[in-house]
Amino acid sequence: MVSNNGRGQLIATSARSNARAIESPVTQPLGNPDVAQLQLAQVQSIRLACTNADIASLQIRTSAGNTFWSHSSCFPYTCETDTKTCATSCADPGGCAPGMDCVGGRCVFPRTFCSDGHTSMNSRGAKNNCNTYGCDPVTGLCRTVCTSSDQCNSSVGALCDIPAKSCVLP
């Protein structure tokens, strides 16, 4: 079992091969240090790896020839190739798992919103002027039809042609 401590490090707490478990010293009762020291002595090597863009892995080899792997998802971040651990912040969308956006150093689900009554914007900063239509505050997208003039871009004086369901300039 491996967890990310939130500071870019993977912490191994146990490993299991078939039905036999090898526990690390941090999970052993404090009253029996000899058992913990014996099990720690069995660890021959520990290797970190990024097995995928957003998967950090830990490989433990024992002196008995056993190899244990543990994989941890870095979602919503990626696995940093230099440290082989999960990132805890981002500088651009490349530091986020596929499909996520980097906003203010954090990986977030992409979203669309209205930056004003006639401009649609997404979390990456791309803007779309809605022209004669208004921006729908529920979806964050430019409207493409109207049923009343309050759904049109009032800053340019657009009105709704109700039979045509279109925002038009008078």
State the pLDDT confidence band at 21, using cuts at 50, 70 and 90.
very low
pLDDT over 50 (residue 24): no
- Residue 143 CA to residue 20 CA, distance in Å, equals 61
pLDDT of residue 23: 45
- Beta-bridge mates of residue 113: 121
| 8 Å CB contact between 34 and 106 | no
pLDDT of residue 143: 97
pLDDT tens-place string over residues 126-151: 899 999 999 999 999 999 999 999 99
Q: Which of 153, 160, 159, 113 minimizes the C-alpha distance to 133?
A: 153
% the chain with pLDDT above 70: 76
Q: Which of 124, 88, 100, 67 minimizes the C-alpha distance to 8?
A: 88
Higher-scoring residue by pLDDT: 144, 101 = 144
pLDDT of residue 39: 64
pLDDT tens-place string over residues 70-94: 899 999 999 998 999 999 999 988 8
pLDDT of residue 13: 62
> For 29-40, what is the mean pLDDT?
44
- Residue 61 CA to residue 22 CA, distance in Å, equals 12
| 8 Å CB contact between 20 and 62 | no
pLDDT over 70 (residue 10): no
Higher-scoring residue by pLDDT: 50, 13 = 50
